[in-house]
Structures are given as C-alpha cells and as structure tokens.
Amino acid sequence: MSSDRLEAARGLLAAAQIDALVVSRLENLRYLSGFTGSSAALLITQTDAVLVTDSRYAEQSSAESPQFRIEVAAALPAVAAARIARQHGSGIRVGFESEEVPYAAWEQMREASDAGGSLLVPCRGLVEGLRVIKSQDELDLIQRAVEITSLALEETLPLVRPGAIERDLALEIEFRMKNAGAEDLAFESIVASGPRASLPHGRASERRVGAGEFVVFDIGSRFRGYHSDMTRTYFTGSPDAREREQYETVLEAQRRGIEAVKPGVAAKDVDRAARAVIEKAGFGDRFGHGTGHGVGLQIHEAPRIGARSEEVLAAGMALTIEPGVYLPGDGGVRIEDIVVVTETGRRVLTPTPKDSWILG
C-alpha cells in the first residue's frame, strides 16, 4: 500500500483538530493499510501508525500492512486502539469514526480515554474524502469488476425467456461472475420481471418470466475489493408504444446525465439533466431515487448524484448514472453504467449494449 495514503491521512489530523485518529471502517482500513481481514482498527498519529487486530490475523496483517506496527489484542480493536493512544500523552484529542463505532464500543473507548486524560472526538467522512478520487490502479480494478459483470450478463442473456425463474437467472449470473474471477458479489443481485420490475430493489424471486414484459437486471461484482454496478432492462416479446416510450425515455435520460458529467459540474446538475427528460415525458413522479452514486471500495460512496447533493465532480471520481421509471403494477425500466470523470469530460466503463433490449 502506498505510503502516500498514510501521509494523506496524517494530513487530515490538523484540519480535524485532532492528535490521533482511530479508523474502524473496514474499507478505510483496506485503503490506508492494505489489510483485508474482518476485524481491526488503525491508530494514526503524526509519528505512529498502528494496526490493532486479534490473533486470527496476526500473520496476515504483518504481510499485508508492513507500514504499520501490528498489535494483537483481546479487546475490541477500536477500544484497544484508544488505549494505545494514551501512550502519546495526556490531554490528546483522539478522533474516531462516529458512523462506524457502536454505542457499546464507544462507551469502552470513552472509559479508556478518560483513564488516560484524552478526549474522544467524533469524526465523519475523513478517510472517505480521500477515497473519492481514484488512482489509475483503483480505476483498473473497477474496470475489471465491470468487465466481469458485463460478461456474466452477456453469457446469461440466452436464458432470459418466458418461463425462466428470476432466482435461477440470478444464480446463473452469480456463478459466471465468480467463475470469471470475482471474489464476491457487490450486492444481492436484483432480477425483477413483469409487475415486479417496478420495484427498484426487487430481489430475485421464484417468479417465472412472462411473455411481453420487462425484466430488470441490477448486478455487480467485487474484484480485489473494488465494485461494479450495472443495470440493464430487457423486454420479452414485442413492446407496445407505451413500453417503447418508457424505455426510450430512460435511455435518453441516462444519455443526458452521462453527457453532463465533467469536472467542475455540480452533482445535482447531473441529476437535473437526467431528471428533466423524465419529467418532460410525464414520468416525473415515477422516478423517486437519485441519479447515481460513487463506486469504489464500497458499492455506495461519495459523490451522491441527487437533487440535494452539495458535491462537485472532479477528475478521478467513479460514479453511476442510473435513472429509472417505475409504474406500479405494470413494470419498470432502469439503465445504469459506471462513468469515470476525466480531466476533460467523462469515460463510460460499462461495455454492455443498451439498444439491444428487445428479446425474441
């Protein structure tokens, strides 16, 4: 793991008015240290870098995180890290990830801090702010996850026909993703057909796909910690005029949203570009979620592409553009790609076609 990341984390301390930072979120741990286990915490000061874990990960942590001093403890890692922080002097301010630490753990951290005369300071989004801009290595890993996901869907498409069971299609895609090198799914696969396609998060069920209906696939894989996220909607049979309008409206909304992506643009303006198309077509009240979100070590991270977002796009961000139109009792359409903000505009990572949506 690059020493630049550790130094960047140390640079956060002064801005946050803290002397030390306890990092508990596993994705942040992996980003800063390279550690891939399930139980650890980091303690970072200007002069020290400690990874606290338990005996299960003593050997693994030493191999994965050579820049960090390894401490094996029986206590909760964040609590043990707070105790170690006391060694850096009385009265120091110890930041902790307030959105990650459970209340019971916070009580123990407070007791450890009080005993050493230090002060616990809740912090939000510090390391996440570093993660927003991806390095080329990170973008390459996201690209590989995207390719794995696209290939799995391409190989499964011949099975998408009337009579196919949603859950079977999801299992087929998941097997093919893992067979192609994915370490895991990015999230539970969404396969929703017919009336269920109007459910934005319609997990695969035992329903059989019917003739003349939409089928939504929202799928993703994880490759070496980094995620992909893709949605494609297909139609089994011959769509009527209303169904064509629904699909083409979402496709145009996504195109406009993608075209709006470039450095210096407000994230809410990207949302507006996509949403305006849907509103003009009369489906405004049928698009309730945001237009997209960042993707990286987490499947949902900054920036948020929504009407109330205060973020501004910058080169190196990786994000989704995923507008949808959902008609309860009838069906839904959503189309989603991963887009990288470049120095001059944007680059779409997702290769799966969007114009070949009619099956049969």
Whether residues 184 and 114 fall in one domain: no
Taking only the tens place, the pLDDT of each residue in 149-182 is 999 999 999 999 999 999 999 999 999 999 999 9
Whether residues 287 and 206 fall in one domain: yes
Q: What pLDDT shows up at residue 118?
A: 85
Taking only the tens place, the pLDDT of each residue in 321-357 is 999 999 999 999 999 999 999 999 999 999 999 999 9
Number of domain units in the chain: 2
Taking only the tens place, the pLDDT of each residue in 28-60 is 999 999 999 999 999 999 999 999 999 999 999
End-to-end CA distance of the chain: 49
Three-point CA angle 260, 133, 25, nearest 5°:
125
Residue 87 binned pLDDT confidence (cut-offs 50, 70, 90): confident
User: Within 10 Å of residue 206's Cβ, how many Cβ atoms?
Assistant: 8
Whether residues 297 and 315 fall in one domain: yes
pTM exceeds 0.85, yes or no: yes
Instruction: Convert 243-272 to b/e letters by CB count within 10 Å (16 or more is b).
Output: beebbebbbbbbbbbbebbbbebbbbbbbb
Residue 2 scores a pLDDT above 70: no
CATH number (domain holding residue 120): 3.40.350.10
Q: 331's torsion region: left (phi>0), alpha (psi -120 to 50) or beta?
A: left
Across the range 107-130, mean pLDDT stands at 90
| For the chain, percent of residues with pLDDT exceeding 90 | 95
Residue 218 scores a pLDDT above 80: yes
Q: How many CA atoms lie within 13 A of 345 on its CB side?
A: 7
Whether residues 78 and 140 fall in one domain: no
Strand partners, 40: 53
Residue 1 scores a pLDDT above 80: no
Whether residues 336 and 271 fall in one domain: yes
Residue 102 scores a pLDDT above 60: yes
Residue range of the domain that includes 178: 136-359
Q: What pLDDT shows up at residue 356?
A: 94
User: Within 10 Å of residue 1's Cβ, how many Cβ atoms?
Assistant: 16
Q: What pLDDT shows up at residue 91?
A: 86
Across the range 235-258, mean pLDDT stands at 98
Question: Domain boundary residue among 116, 131, 146?
Answer: 131
Residue 227 scores a pLDDT above 60: yes
Whether residues 216 and 347 fall in one domain: yes
Question: Domain boundary residue among 131, 162, 194?
Answer: 131
Contacts of 56 (CB under 8 A, 6+ apart): 37, 39
User: Within 10 Å of residue 155's Cβ, how many Cβ atoms?
Assistant: 16
Question: Domain boundary residue among 131, 155, 183?
Answer: 131
Q: Which of 199, 284, 200, 202 is nearest to 249 (CA)?
A: 284
Whether residues 216 and 325 fall in one domain: yes
Strands 226-227 and 190-193: unpaired
User: Within 10 Å of residue 291's Cβ, how many Cβ atoms?
Assistant: 31
Q: Of the ranges 31-35, 88-92, 219-223, which one carries the lowest mean pLDDT score?
A: 88-92
Whether residues 104 and 212 fall in one domain: no
C-alpha to C-alpha distances, 91 to 61, 113, 305, nearest whole angstrom: 30, 9, 41
Whether residues 214 and 66 fall in one domain: no
For residues 28 and 24, give the distance between their C-alpha atoms in angstroms, rounded to a whole number: 7
- Residues composing the chain: 360
CATH number (domain holding residue 148): 3.90.230.10
Across the range 191-198, mean pLDDT stands at 98
Strand partners, 266: 312
Whether residues 158 and 95 fall in one domain: no
Whether residues 276 and 175 fall in one domain: yes
Residue 134 scores a pLDDT above 90: yes
Whether residues 140 and 87 fall in one domain: no
